[in-house]
Amino acid sequence: MTEDNFEEFLKKAAQSYNAPPARTPREDMWSAIQAQRAAGPRVVYGGGGGSATRESSGRRFGSKIWLGAAAAAVLFLVTGVGIGRWTASPGSTTSVTAAGPPQTPSSPDSTPGRSTGAVPELGRAVASTGMGAGAQTSPASTGGARETIANGGNGGRVARDGSSTNPGSSSAYQITAVRHLSEAEALLTSFRTRTTTDQQMDAQLGSWARDLLSKTRLLLDSPVANDPQRRPLLEDLELVLVQIVQLSPGSTPQDRELIEKTLQQDHVMTRLRTAIPAGPQRGS
């Protein structure tokens, strides 16, 4: 209520901020525009400006061609690799089990997604986390699945025991979403329980949140977001993650309090926990 009052108060008071005059000096400005255009280089529609533009247009055009060609080549390559992986997946396995052997911290490249074919690229991306140094056990890990986020060297990895047997991209998306929400819950729990003066931890959480933010946006563009309950949750999660990413190492306790308030107001944690089913599907 106080929050609403403040917003109303602020909006009202801010109306006086740099208040423009009641009448726009239309004629004066139009005359000035005409004068400037008459004095300046002749306008060439579709190509930008005048002589200066024309002088450098050859160079700009050349660089644009190179950029375009490079972009097309990259797009072609990425599309080819994507199609290859996507079409190869269903034939190779119908399971999304990712029960690989424990991996050593010295192999940051290895992600469980590579050993499976059924989970879409999105799922593979979600399966790898970057949490900086140290090891944490996710508080989300209960039930039949165990998820341990361990780390060493440059990147993180997720070792899982547990499986889901439903084939098809739809169930794969659901599993990916549940994994993602579990990770988000772990991040937010870590955020809430860390000490306020631990700047190294803040940096690690920021990096982790950035990673999760990009995945959240991918999920928002995926069929997962068609779920009317899941979409608002992902949108609220996106907002919180943006706030955590924007926390600089020198940020004040007030900044953290604001994030905490957002979490409480939108009941993000409660909704996250509700959205994550208990049992083997969780985090597996």
Partner 1 sequence: MGLLAYESRSSVNDIELITRVVAGDAAAERELYETYVDRIYRLTFRLAGDDELARDFTQATFIRAFEKIGSFRGESSLSTWLHSIGVSVSLNGLRKTKRLRNREAPMEEGLTVGAVPVEAEPDLKEKLARAIDSLSDKYRTVFVMHDVEGYTHDEISGTLNIPVGTSKSHLFQARSKLRVALADFAPEWAS
Binding site for partner 1 (CB under 8 A): 2, 5-11, 13-21, 24-26, 28-30, 32-33, 36-37, 40, 43-49, 217, 235, 238-239, 242-243, 246, 254, 258, 262
* Nearest residue (CB) to partner 1, 26 versus 59: 26
Rounded Cα distance, 100 and 128, in Å: 14
Tokens at 269, concatenated: 């944690």
CB of 75 to partner 1, least distance (A): 18
Ranges assigned E (strand) in 47-197: 136-137, 146-152, 155-161
CB of 59 to partner 1, least distance (A): 18
Using DSSP, state whether 146 is helix, strand or coil. strand
* Nearest residue (CB) to partner 1, 38 versus 87: 38
Q: Specify whether the CB–CB gap between 256 and 168 falls below 8 A.
A: no
How many CB atoms neighbour CB 139 within 10 A?
13
CB of 277 to partner 1, least distance (A): 26
Q: Specify whether the CB–CB gap between 86 and 172 falls below 8 A.
A: no
Cα dihedral 223/225/226/230 (nearest 10)? 130
Rounded Cα distance, 178 and 147, in Å: 13
* Nearest residue (CB) to partner 1, 24 versus 197: 24
* Nearest residue (CB) to partner 1, 150 versus 237: 237
CB of 7 to partner 1, least distance (A): 7
φ, ψ for residue 131, nearest 5 deg: -120, 15
CB of 266 to partner 1, least distance (A): 11
* Nearest residue (CB) to partner 1, 178 versus 213: 213
